[in-house]
């Protein structure tokens, strides 16, 4: 197993940063490849009551093993930060490619990505994990053009039902807002929204927050006539307000006729888009943090088992 120390990582660029952490691109002279390193300041994580979220993210990544999900490499902790080292996905976000998809290839392209997303969701659902944040920004393309689901910051292992309202409003299932509890089936609703957006350019429901929530919970879905009938049926199935009815026999839907799902799971189907060769010089330079606060021992004690992680080996299921 690779360790943080043995990788001898050095930061070369900043991939992104937010209110709860940042992701840097790091190069390993030992492995001669890039890695994505997610960093959380320990003191800020404790102060902002995000300890359980961060610990859960690491825990879930450690038990996931799918070619359609970003793979955990190792974790590390020092006096200042928590580190989650993951494989670097060279192609970047799927959303950056959507404008280049022409009408002539839209159906096949959307079907390809939908199939690989379905495989990713089936894998995490088999472990009772709800992803809860499916959207184009969290879908990455590998160097070969395959999908990788990323960012498990909102994911949660669910036994029975959970009640937390979280995610991006446009993609959140109605039962989340109704506060009656929900399960992994919220992800299938989000997939329905995503497929609708791939074909139309917009989510099915819009408005300010209150109007949007009301529409998600009550409004009918207006699908343009330009959307193929087989896709329309799948979208309506996924946007069913009865969660238990959403993903019934999803791989047998008409849209997926003549698809060999074993080939999908083995990455044997040719991707419609191959990203251009990755150039680190096109990325933002490393953002230097000069005012980071070191943690105290009692804060580090909350993450006592942080380095004790053995990632699952990626399989083809």
Q: List, by residue number, the catalytic residues.
A: 133
Q: Got the DSSP string for 140-183?
A: EE-TTS-EEE---TT-EE-SS-B----S-GGG--HHHHHTS-B-
Strands 72-77 and 81-87: antiparallel
Q: Are 155 and 144 in contact (CB under 8 A)?
A: no
Distant-in-sequence, close-in-space partners of 249: CB < 8 Å, separation ≥ 6 = none
Q: Which of 5, 4, 22 is nearest to 13 (CA)?
A: 22
Quote the longest CA-to-CA distance of the chain.
61
Spell out where 113-269 has E strands. 129-130, 139-141, 147-149, 156-157
Place of tokens 């691109």: 25
Angle at 160 between CA 159 and CA 163, to 5 degrees: 100
Report the distance separating Cα 238 and Cα 255, nearest Å: 13
Give the three-class secondary structure for 83. strand
Q: How far is CA 263 from CA 115, 197, 268, in A?
A: 11, 26, 5
The pair of three-digit structure tokens given for residue 18, joined into one six-digit string: 């937010």
Distant-in-sequence, close-in-space partners of 293: CB < 8 Å, separation ≥ 6 = 41, 43, 44, 80
Place of tokens 């990323």: 150
Could you tell me what percentage of the chain is helix, strand and coil, using 3-state DSSP and rounding each to the nearest 5? 40, 15, 45
């Amino acid at each position: 197993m690779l360790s943080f120390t043995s990788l001898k990582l050095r930061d070369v660029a900043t991939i992104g940063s937010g209110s709860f952490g940042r992701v840097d691109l790091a190069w390993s002279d030992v492995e001669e490849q890039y890695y994505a390193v997610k960093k959380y300041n320990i003191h800020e994580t404790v102060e902002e009551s995000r300890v359980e979220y961060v610990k859960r993210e690491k825990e879930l990544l450690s038990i996931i093993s799918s070619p359609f999900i970003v793979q955990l490499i190792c974790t590390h902790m020092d006096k200042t930060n928590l580190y989650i080292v993951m494989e670097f996905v060279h192609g970047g976000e799927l959303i950056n490619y959507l404008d280049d998809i022409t009408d002539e290839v839209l159906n096949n392209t959307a079907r390809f990505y939908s199939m690989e997303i379905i495989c990713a969701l089936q894998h995490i659902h088999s472990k009772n994990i709800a992803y809860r944040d499916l959207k184009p920004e969290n879908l990455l393309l590998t160097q070969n053009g395959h999908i990788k689901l990323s960012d498990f910051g909102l994911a949660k292992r669910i036994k029975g039902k959970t009640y937390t309202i979280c995610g991006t409003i446009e993609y959140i299932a109605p039962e989340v807002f109704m506060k009656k509890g929900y399960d992994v089936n919220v992800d299938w609703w989000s997939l329905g929204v995503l497929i609708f957006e791939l074909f139309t350019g917009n989510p099915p429901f819009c408005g300010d927050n209150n109007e949007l929530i009301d529409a998600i919970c009550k409004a009918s879905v207006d699908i343009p006539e330009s959307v193929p009938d087989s896709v329309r049926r799948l979208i309506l199935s996924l946007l069913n307000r009865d969660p238990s009815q959403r993903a019934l026999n999803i791989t047998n839907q008409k849209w997926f006729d003549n698809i060999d799902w074993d080939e999908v799971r083995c990455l044997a189907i040719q991707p419609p888009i191959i990203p251009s060769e990755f150039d680190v010089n096109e990325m933002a330079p490393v953002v230097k943090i000069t005012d980071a606060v070191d943690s105290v021992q009692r804060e580090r004690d909350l993450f006592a088992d942080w380095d004790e992680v053995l990632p699952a080996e990626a399989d083809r299921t």
